[in-house]
Amino acid sequence: MSDLDRSALVSNGCSNISPPNVVSTLPWTRLVTKQAGLPGKRLPKGPRTKQPSRANQPPLEKTEDLMQCIAYATADQYHLATLCHDLVSSGFYEITDLPRDAANVLVFCTEMASKPNDHGIIFFFREGSVVFWNVEDKTTKHVMRILEKHEIQPYEVALVHWENEEINYRIGEGNSKLHRGDILLNSELDPDQAVLEKFAFSNALSLSVKLAIWEVSLDNFVESIQSIPEMLKSGKRVKLTRAEVMQKIGELFALRHCINLSSDLLITPDFYWDRENLEQLYDKTCQFLSINRRVKVMNEKLQHCTELTDLMRNHLSEKHGLRLEWMIVILITIEVSPTTGLHVRFSHQVYMYSTSLRN
C-alpha cells in the first residue's frame, strides 16, 4: 500500500492502526481447525434470531446511504493472538487505541468497503463471534477463511451462515441510535468515538448470534429426549442406561453454564458501567434483538429438561437398587440351603453379577 493510500485510510476514520509487526500478547490456547466447506448434516428448520421482517423496506443496493452490518458466531472461542498476526500479514490494519477494559476483542480496518459512505471495520470477539461493518462480500469470505485457522471448537458451516444477524445502518445528523430496525451513526463523531459506538452495537449483535447457536443446541437436545415422556406415559420400558442419562445431564449443565455463567447474557458488561451513552446503545440493541426474553425461554426449557433427566436418573437408581436387593436375598437363600455341592459356584456367579450391576 502506498503512503497516499494509507493516508486516505487514516482520514476515513481508521486512525490508530497498528504497524504490520504488531501482535497481541495473549495466552496460548489449543487450536482446533474447522473442516471448511463441509455443511451440516441437515439445515435448521428456521432461523432462531428474532429479527423483525424487512419485507417492506427498500433493497440495500437501491438505497445509497444504507450500509450493512452482519454478525456471525463461528466457534466457541477464537485465539486472538495468532488471528491478529495472520490478519496483519494479510494486509488488514488493527485499531489499537481502544480502552484497556476492551480486552477481549480485536478491531481491524480494511480498505475493501462495500460502499464509499463509510470505511470497513471488523470486530472479532474472543467468545467466537465476528461482526462486519460495510465490508464487501469478497473480503468477508477471505476473512472467514483466515478465521477458520484460529477457531476453538468450530460450529458447522451451514449453521454459522443460517444463524446470522443482519442490520442496516447509515451515517447522518443527530445522536447515534437504533431506529425502526436500522442503526443511525452520528456523522459528527470523531473516529475513536465512532469505533466505540460500533463496538457497543457489535457487542449486542455478537451475543444474539451466540444465543442463536445455543438455541439450536437446545432444540436438538429436546428432540433427542422427546420420546421419553410418551414412553413413560404408555408404561413402556425406557431404553436408556445410567451412562446415557448422565451424559444427557452433562449436556444440560454445560449449556446452562454457557448461558448463565460464562457469557454476558444476564448482566451488562463492566465495560459500560462508566459509559452511559454506550450502555444505552448496547441495551437498546439487546432489547431490539429480544435477548432477555430468549434467555428466559431457554432457561425455562432447560429447567424442564433437567427435571425429566433427574426423573430418569432416580428411576434407574431405584431399579438398580431393587436388583441389588434381590441378589442379596438370593445369596442368603443359597447360603442357608442344605445342598452345599453346587451352591458355592452358583453363589459366586450371582455375586459377580450383582457387582457388575453395582458398577
pLDDT recorded at residue 30 = 32
pLDDT recorded at residue 22 = 35
Report the C-alpha gap between 316 and 64 in whole angstroms: 64
Per-residue pLDDT at 25 exceeds 50: no
Per-residue pLDDT at 207 exceeds 60: yes
Per-residue pLDDT at 36 exceeds 50: no
Neighbouring C-beta atoms of residue 182, cutoff 10 Å:
16
Indicate the average pLDDT of the chain. 77
Taking residues 75-88, report their average pLDDT: 93
More confident site: 317 or 182: 182
Contact 334, 350 (CB under 8 A): yes
Taking residues 226-254, report their average pLDDT: 77
Q: What CA–CA distances, in Å, run from 355 to 241, 321, 323, 328, 348? A: 16, 12, 11, 11, 11
Taking residues 209-238, report their average pLDDT: 84
Three-state SS at 168: strand
Per-residue pLDDT at 29 exceeds 60: no
More confident site: 42 or 81: 81
Which contiguous run of DSSP H or E holds residue 178?
Answer: strand 177-179
Per-residue pLDDT at 213 exceeds 70: yes
pLDDT recorded at residue 317 = 57
Tally DSSP H helices, then E strands, for the chain. Answer: 10, 10
User: If 0-12 CB within 10 Å is exposed, 13-18 middle and 19+ buried, where does residue 251 land?
Assistant: middle
Report the C-alpha gap between 221 and 241 in whole angstroms: 17
Three-state SS at 38: coil
Q: What is the pLDDT of residues 137-164, one digit of tens each?
A: 999 999 999 999 999 999 999 999 999 9
Q: What is the pLDDT of residues 38-64, one digit of tens each?
A: 333 344 454 444 444 344 445 555 566
Q: What is the pLDDT of residues 260-298, one digit of tens each?
A: 887 778 788 888 988 999 999 999 999 999 999 999 999
pLDDT recorded at residue 184 = 93
Q: Residue 169: pLDDT band by 50, 70, 90 thresholds?
A: very high
Report the C-alpha gap between 312 and 294 in whole angstroms: 27
Handedness of CA 264, 265, 266, 268 (dihedral sign): positive
Q: What is the pLDDT of residues 307-352, one digit of tens each?
A: 887 777 666 655 555 566 567 667 677 666 655 444 555 555 555 5
Task: Quote the cell numbers at residue 276.
Answer: 452511559
pLDDT recorded at residue 145 = 94
Q: Residue 26: pLDDT band by 50, 70, 90 thresholds?
A: very low
pTM check: above 0.85: no
Closest C-alpha among 212, 197, 169 to residue 298: 212
pLDDT recorded at residue 296 = 92
Per-residue pLDDT at 354 exceeds 60: no
